[in-house]
Each structure stands twice: as C-alpha cells, then as structure tokens.
C-alpha cells in the first residue's frame, strides 16, 4: 500500500492535473490520442518510485515537481498556457515503469518526463520515450550505460539527466577509500544497471590508485527481488577486506547488511555506501547491535551533491512548504522539470520534438545566466537566449545527455543520523 505521503502526493498531483488539463465540451478530460501540439498547453509527466525499493527517496523527488509547476503557472505558464502535470509510480520496477511510460507517452501524450530514479527503470522505459519522441530527463539514473547507449545514437537526443553518471561517483568513492588507507576492498552490488555499472567503474578507478579488489574474479551481486541475503553478505565480507563497497537499494540493502552483522562477518570491516541508501530511515532499517548501537554507525558514503545558484531559493521554498531541508535528488528533480518548461518556451512549442530541439540550448552557454525559472521564461518570451543555472549545479548537458557534478561525503553517526562531512569534485 502507498504510505500517507505518497497518497497525499498523488492527491496534489491530481489537483494540478484537474486544474490544468483541457476538457471536452461535456466536461470530461480530453484523452485524445492526438499528439501534443503547439496550440495545447505543455504536458509533462513524472515517472518516479512512490513504492518499492527506492520509495523513501522517490517520494521526496516526486514532491518537487508539483512545486515547480505551481511556480511556473503562477508566473504565466509556458507559451501563454498552464502546464499540466501527470504523475506515475514506477514502483522501482522496470516492467511497471515501462507500462507507466507507455501510458504517459501514448495515452496522456506528454512532451517530457521527469524520471526515472532507478537506472534499471530508465533503461527499460527510454525506448518507449524515444520512439514516441518524448524527452526523458532523469534526476537520478546514474548508470554509465546511458552514456554508452547515447554514443551509439539510441536516444536521438530524447534523453538527458541532471545527476552525473556513476563514472564520476565511482572515482570519488575510490579516492575516498584510498585517502582512508584502504588497500584491500571487496564489492557487493545490486544486480542491475546501477549496481553493475558502478561496480565496474569503481574497480577500474580503485585499481588505478594501487588498490586490490579482493573478490574481482568472483564479484558479489544480489538479485533485486531476493528476500534473503545470507550467501551474498558472507561472500562480500569474506577474506577480511579493509572495506566493503556496497552499492545497494534501501530495502534490500538494509537486509543484506543486517545479515552480515548477524553472521558476525562485518566486524572490523569498514562499510562504504553510495546514493542508493542515503535516506534518514536507512540506519534504523539495518537495525541495532546487541549493545544498542546502530549496525551501520561509522559507515562512509558518497552521493551526488548540489551546489547550484538556485539551491538557496529552492531550500527556502522547501523549508516553507515541508518544514525541512530538501532531501537527496530534490534539487536534481527540480532542475529536470525546470529544463523541460524552459525548453518548451524556447521552442515556442509544447511538443517533445520542440523540447528536444532546445533542451541543451537553454542548459548551456551562451545566453543570459538565470537561476530563477520565471525569470528564464520571461527572457525567452522576449526572444532572448538563456543559460539556466540550476539548484543541483550548472546542468550543462552535453551531447550524450550527461552533466558534471560534485559529491557529498557522508557518514552515519552513533545516534543513527546522517551527516555530510565534506564535498569532492572528481
């Protein structure tokens, strides 16, 4: 079942859609199969995990888009019309995500999608998006596989992301391990595009720094649909490495690390984590030791950070609306939605083809630098060029749909809280 947050989010999204979408003469929602045209308002969708293994982070990400749409519509919309938002839950599942993408592209006829978070979901859904000429901007799918596929021309320019690929995060984590003096490291990863792509990039980077991967010949990868992890956790911590680099999702990853503790194999081994588990509830899900301490206390990790010019304004808005700071990937999600609206305005067309034609133009120099989406829309309406400076960073999208970024280094404190200790730009 959806938790209360997700239900509330769905309700908010529904109100936005109801308030903005066109209707037929009898008052019913217009679900015509005619592709979105310039004389229709811009439709965008979200394809994010409200349920499943990544729901905790996905719910916060999805909450950012209605706020962006609300702000855009309050300052005049795009191409003189309100933006319509249609939300879909991808359930952290490639099959469910592809089904939801098909609905958004072929039934709802959106021009652009914010999503997905999981690389496995985006990897499955992007084919549907590109075939239907729908622009997909992911705020969190970081697998290096997308760069490789883009270079082969698979996406035809209908793919981009506001979070940097794991090629860079793996380097940041390898540098961190090396700085901490770890020489012998094992890996354990979720067996999907995200986990395997990160593993390969980390192994390459760590070996170049002079380190040894203890289980390189027989890497430990776990099934995303598994429910028990005794074998995988024992294998990951075998032969007493200095550290175990664990590339996990929250629900399954917490079970794996709890299993390692219960088997007594994780004692004295540094645990190193990534963005897939950086959520406030993760330490509690792994649990506490017999002496009442959090099992993952002292764990170190990396996560794509945010240092953009629009970050302070977003943080203030989020504090006002949510009474807390924005969580992981919220700035990247905000930027993904902002770029879709700005590109449509630049193209003077509410179509996927229009958005695709201007996406990189509004994200890169030359052009007047703007960090406020309404200011950007105003300049575009007057015929000027812009260079959007986002909340996550400069979001300078390259020909493969990639951006550069910075990474936060974080740790789990003794009281089970998450604390960012430094930032690294590999």
pLDDT tens digits, 330-385: 999 999 999 999 999 999 999 999 999 999 999 999 999 999 999 999 999 999 99
Q: Does residue 403 lie within any of the structural domains?
A: no
In this structure, the answer to whether residues 314 and 361 fall within a common structural domain is: yes
| CATH assignment at residue 213 | 3.40.50.2300
In this structure, the answer to whether residues 141 and 287 fall within a common structural domain is: no
In this structure, the answer to whether residues 53 and 121 fall within a common structural domain is: yes
> Where are the alpha helices (H) located in 308-383, listed in sequence order?
311-322, 330-347, 352-363, 373-381
Question: CA triplet 420, 422, 423: central angle to 5 degrees?
Answer: 110
In this structure, the answer to whether residues 10 and 74 fall within a common structural domain is: yes
pLDDT digits (tens, 9 = 90+) for 36-63: 444 689 999 999 999 999 999 999 999 9
Task: Give the pLDDT band of residue 426 (cuts 50, 70, 90).
Answer: confident
In this structure, the answer to whether residues 266 and 188 fall within a common structural domain is: yes
Instruction: Kindly state the helix (H) or strand (E) to which residue 234 belongs, with its residue range.
Output: helix 230-236
Question: Rg for the chain (alpha carbons), in Å?
Answer: 21
Classify 328 as helix, strand or coil.
coil
Task: Give the pLDDT band of residue 313 (cuts 50, 70, 90).
Answer: very high
Q: Does residue 363 lie within any of the structural domains?
A: yes
Q: Does residue 405 lie within any of the structural domains?
A: no
Per-residue pLDDT, 39: 64
In this structure, the answer to whether residues 175 and 300 fall within a common structural domain is: yes
Q: Does residue 190 lie within any of the structural domains?
A: yes
In this structure, the answer to whether residues 158 and 201 fall within a common structural domain is: no
Could you tell me the residue range of the domain that residue 224 belongs to? 169-304+410-424
In this structure, the answer to whether residues 369 and 416 fall within a common structural domain is: no
In this structure, the answer to whether residues 352 and 222 fall within a common structural domain is: no
> pTM to 2 decimals?
0.86
Q: Does residue 398 lie within any of the structural domains?
A: no
In this structure, the answer to whether residues 48 and 68 fall within a common structural domain is: yes
In this structure, the answer to whether residues 154 and 197 fall within a common structural domain is: no
Q: What are the tokens at 169? A: 């995060």
Question: CA triplet 109, 111, 117: central angle to 5 degrees?
Answer: 100
Q: Does residue 143 lie within any of the structural domains?
A: yes
In this structure, the answer to whether residues 331 and 290 fall within a common structural domain is: no
Per-residue pLDDT, 304: 94
Number of domains in the chain: 2
């Amino acid at each position: 079942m959806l938790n209360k947050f997700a239900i509330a989010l769905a309700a908010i999204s529904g109100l936005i859609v109801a308030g903005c979408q066109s209707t037929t003469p009898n008052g019913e929602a217009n679900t015509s199969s005619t592709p979105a045209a310039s004389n229709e308002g811009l439709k965008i969708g979200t394809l994010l995990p409200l349920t499943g293994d990544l729901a905790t982070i996905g719910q916060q990400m999805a909450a950012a888009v209605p706020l962006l749409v609300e702000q855009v519509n309050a300052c005049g919309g795009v191409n003189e019309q309100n933006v319509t938002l249609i939300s879909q839950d991808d359930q952290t599942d490639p099959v469910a995500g592809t089904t939801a993408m098909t609905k958004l592209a072929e039934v709802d006829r959106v021009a652009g999608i914010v999503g997905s978070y999981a690389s496995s979901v985006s990897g499955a859904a992007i084919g549907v998006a590109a075939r239907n000429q729908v622009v997909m901007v992911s705020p969190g799918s970081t697998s290096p596989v997308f760069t490789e596929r883009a270079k082969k021309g698979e996406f035809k320019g209908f793919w981009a992301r506001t979070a940097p690929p794991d090629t860079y995060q793996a380097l940041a984590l390898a540098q961190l391990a090396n700085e901490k003096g770890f020489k012998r490291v094992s890996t354990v990863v979720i067996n999907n595009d995200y986990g395997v792509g990160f593993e390969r990039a980390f192994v390459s980077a760590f070996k170049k720094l002079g380190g040894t991967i203890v289980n390189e010949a027989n890497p430990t990868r776990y099934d995303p649909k598994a429910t028990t992890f005794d074998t995988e956790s024992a294998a990951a911590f075998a032969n007493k490495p200095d550290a175990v680099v664990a590339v996990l999702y929250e629900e399954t990853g917490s079970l794996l690390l709890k299993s390692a503790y219960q088997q007594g194999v994780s004692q004295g081994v540094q645990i190193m984590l990534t963005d897939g588990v950086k959520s406030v509830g993760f330490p509690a899900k792994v649990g506490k030791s017999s002496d009442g301490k959090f099992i993952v206390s002292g764990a170190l990790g990396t996560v794509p950070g945010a240092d953009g010019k629009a970050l302070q304004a977003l943080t203030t808005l989020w504090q006002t609306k949510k009474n807390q700071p924005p969580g992981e990937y919220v700035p990247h999600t905000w930027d993904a939605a902002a770029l879709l609206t700005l590109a449509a305005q630049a193209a003077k067309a509410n179509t996927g083809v229009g958005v695709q034609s201007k996406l990189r133009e509004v994200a890169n120099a030359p052009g007047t630098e703007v960090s406020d989406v309404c200011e950007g829309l105003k300049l575009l309406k007057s015929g000027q060029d812009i260079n959007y400076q986002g909340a996550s960073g400069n979001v300078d999208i390259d020909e493969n749909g990639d951006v550069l970024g910075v990474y936060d280094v974080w740790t789990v404190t003794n009281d089970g809280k998450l604390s960012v200790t430094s930032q690294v730009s590999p």
